[in-house]
Chain A
Amino acid sequence: MKVVLYGILRSIAGRKDLDLDSPTVPQAEEELSRRFGSRMRQYLYEQDAVESLTVVLNGRVLSKDEARAARLQGEDVLELLSPIGGG
C-alpha cells in the first residue's frame, strides 16, 4: 500500500510517499510514528477539531470511524493531510 504525505507530515518524513505493509490505518499511523518520531505522532493524533488529521483512501475522505475500520490492501493509496488551521 502506498502512503502519500502532505504538508508538515511530508516535511517531517523528508519524503513525499512511501510503501507500507500495514493492514489498517491505525497500524499505518503507528508505523509512521515509529519511523519518524514524536513530531509525526503529534500530528497524526491531533485532537483539535480544525487541525485534526484528514485521511483519504483511494480518493475518498474517511470519517474517523471509517478510518479505524478500513482494511488496507496492496494497491491502495492512503493520503494523510494535516490542515494548517488558519489563513
Chain B
Amino acid sequence: MTISGEVLKYDLRKESYEFINWMEEDRQRHGAVSLRRTIGGIGFAFDEFLSEKPCRDPSTKFVINTGFLTGLPRHGVPSGCTRTYVSFHSPAKEKQASYGIGYAAAGGLCGPHIKACGVDGVILAGKASRPVGVMLDASSDQREACLIDMDPWATTRETVDLCFKLGYRGSVAVGPAGFRGVRFASVHVSYMPHDHVRAAARGGPGLALGGMNVKAVGFNDGKDRTPSPKVSGPEVEQWMKGINRELASGSGTEKYKQHGTWGGNWSYLLPLKALPAENFGNLDPKDAYKLDPEYLKSQGWSISQKGCACPIMCWKIPKDPSGQTLWKIDYENIDLLGPNCGVYDIYTLSQAIEMCDMQGIDAMSTGGVIGWFFEHNKRAGKGPTFGDGEALLDLIEKIAEKRDEGELLAEGVKKASEKLGDADIAMQVKGLEGAAYPFWSNLGYAFALRGACHTSLGTYTIGLANPNGVSSVEWWADEIVKAIPSSMICQMNGACYFTRKVIVPELPKLVRNLLGLEASKEEIDRSALQTYVIARMIDCKNGFSSDDDSLPQRAFRNTTTKELLSKTKALFYEKMGFNGDGKVTQETLGKYGLEHLSQYL
C-alpha cells in the first residue's frame, strides 16, 4: 500500500524520538484502522489533537503528514499528488485563551520526500530549548532523527536552501515572523534548490511551530523507502496512464494551466463586479484592469506557466517588457494585497508577496489586515490609507518584525479591531482573515472549518452564479452539507486541490489499487464527514459554539441577511446532527460511527 503505517514521534523537550507503527496502535486501541486515518492528511492528524482538556498553548503539538496519494508518478501514484499537510492548534482561532484546530497544506516536493523516508508523517510534541531543525535522516539502512541548531532569523528560502545543502531535500521551514510571534505566520515547503518555496500559510502554522522553537523539519531520503501500490500490473498501469493524461491535458485542469488562479479569477470576478477591493467594500474596482493578465500581455508582458512539481501550474510568473522577472503570483495574494489595499502597481505587489514569503507570513491574512487598517485610517481621516503602495511595503516589514503599528497588526484583524475599534469591517470568521471572494455570496464561510477560508468549505462562487438560490435557507443548508465531504477529502488524500475533478471520482478505485481496501464513494465521503465532525469536536472543547458560526457585518448585503444566516445555521445543524448550539453530541458521534471518541466530548 502507498502508506507505510509509521510516523516519527519527536518529543522536543526530552530530545527523544521513536518510530511508531500507528496502524498497529490504532488496531490495539480501537480494534480497527479507520479509512479516515488511512486516507491521511487532516483525516489522520486531527485525532492527534483530541483531548479531554482545552488547549491553552498552540505551540505544544504539530503534525506534518501526507495523504495516501502523496508521492511521485514513478511510485505508482497520479501526477500532481505531492501535498504536505500541517495540522496544529490555530493561533488565529482563539476563544477565551483556548485554541481551535487548524491546518494548512502545500504542494512542492516535501511530501514525496517524507514518504521516501518510510513514514507517513511526523508528530512533534513539546518545546525545544533552543531554535532547532528536526532532521530525519533515512539515507542509510538505519533511520535516525536528530536536532541541529538553526538561526531563527533566516528567511524561509535561506532555511530551505540550508536543508538542501545538508542533504535534506524535503523540508518545512518557518520564517523569522514565526519566531517573533506573528499570529498569521506561515510555514514553507521545499520544492527544488534555489526555487520558489510553497506556502502552507493559513491560520498561523508558523507561530505554532516557531513557538515550539522549531525552525525547520528536514527529510533526507537518500535511500528511497516509498511504499508501493498494493495492486500492480498492465491493467493498473494503463488506468493510471489515463488519469495522468487527463491531469496533463484534460479539461479538469486546463483552466489552471492556461490562466492560473490569477487570470482565471480575474476573468470571472471582474465582469461579475465581484472582485474584492478596498477591504471588501468595493467589488467593482475601476483600476483592476491594470492587474489583469490579459491586459498585461497586451502591454508586452509575458505570464509564464511555471508551476510546482505537478501538472497544474496554478501560479504564474510575470515578466515585464524589458525582461525583468517578478515574484510568483497567485490570485488570492495579488487580490488581497492589491485591490483589497487599493494598490494596483504590479511591481509593488510582486515585492509585497516576496516579502511575505521570505519572512514567513500569510500573504492573504497580511492583505486582509492591512486592507482593514487602511479603511480604519480612512474612517478616522488619517493615513496611510487605500492606494498607498509604499505604506503597504512598510507595514509588511513592520508586521513581520512586530514593531510600531505592526505589533498590533501582527495579532490579526480580529484582535487589532477589538483593540482599535471598527470590528464591523474586520473581514474575518473565527479569527481567520477572508479569502478573496465576496463574503455576501458565501454563507458557507460561517461553517468553514478554519474560518473565512474558501477551500475548507467550497461554497464560494456558487452564490454568485445562483441568483434564485441565495435567499433560500434550504438551498444554502443543502449546498453547505454537500460541500463538506468534497472539501475535506481534498485536505486528506494528498492530491492537489486543483486535481479534484480528475482525482475525486477515481478515489474508490485509487483506494482499492493503492491501498488494497474496498471503499465506496459513500464510505469515502463518510470518512471526510468524520474529519469535519472531529474538528468541530476539538473546536467545541476549546469554547467555540454557535455564536462563532458567524459572518462579519459587511457580509450582510444583497440577499444575505442575519435572518437567512440564523435559519440556515439551524437547518445545517439539524442536517449534520449537531445540537441547537452547534455542538457535537453522543448522538452525533453515533451517526458518524465515532462512538469510540466520546471521552473527548
Contacts and interface: CB of A to CB of B under 8 A. Distances in A.
Interface of A: 4, 6-8, 10-11, 39, 42-43, 48-54, 56, 60-66, 79, 81-87
Nearest to A43: B251
B379 to A, nearest CB: 28
Contacts of B272: 54, 56, 61, 81
A50 B466 contact: no
B259 A50 contact: no
B31 interface: no
A10 B255 CA distance: 11
Interface in B255-276: 255-256, 258-259, 261, 263-265, 267-268, 271-272
A87 B436 contact: yes
Contacts of B454: 86-87
A6 B461 contact: no
Contacts of B437: 87
Chain B interface category by residue count: 35 or more
Contact of B268 (A4, A42, A65, A82): A82
Given A63-B469, A83-B268, A87-B330, A8 B259 contact: yes
Contacts of B251: 39, 42-43
Contacts of B255: 7-8, 82, 84-85
10 contacts: A7-B259, A48-B501, A49-B459, A54-B268, A63-B466, A63-B468, A64-B466, A82-B268, A85-B458, A86-B314
Interface in B449-483: 454-455, 458-462, 464-469, 479, 482-483
A7 B330 contact: no
A84 B293 CA distance: 14
Contacts of A42: 251
A7 B314 contact: no
B570 to A, nearest CB: 22
Contact of A86 (B254, B335, B462, B497): B497
Given A8-B258, A11-B259, A87 B271 contact: no
B496 to A, nearest CB: 10
B465 A84 contact: no
A10 B279 CA distance: 30
A40 to B, nearest CB: 10
Contact of B461 (A56, A62, A83): A83
B465 A83 contact: yes
A30 to B, nearest CB: 18
A8 B461 contact: no
B498 interface: yes
A9 B464 CA distance: 18
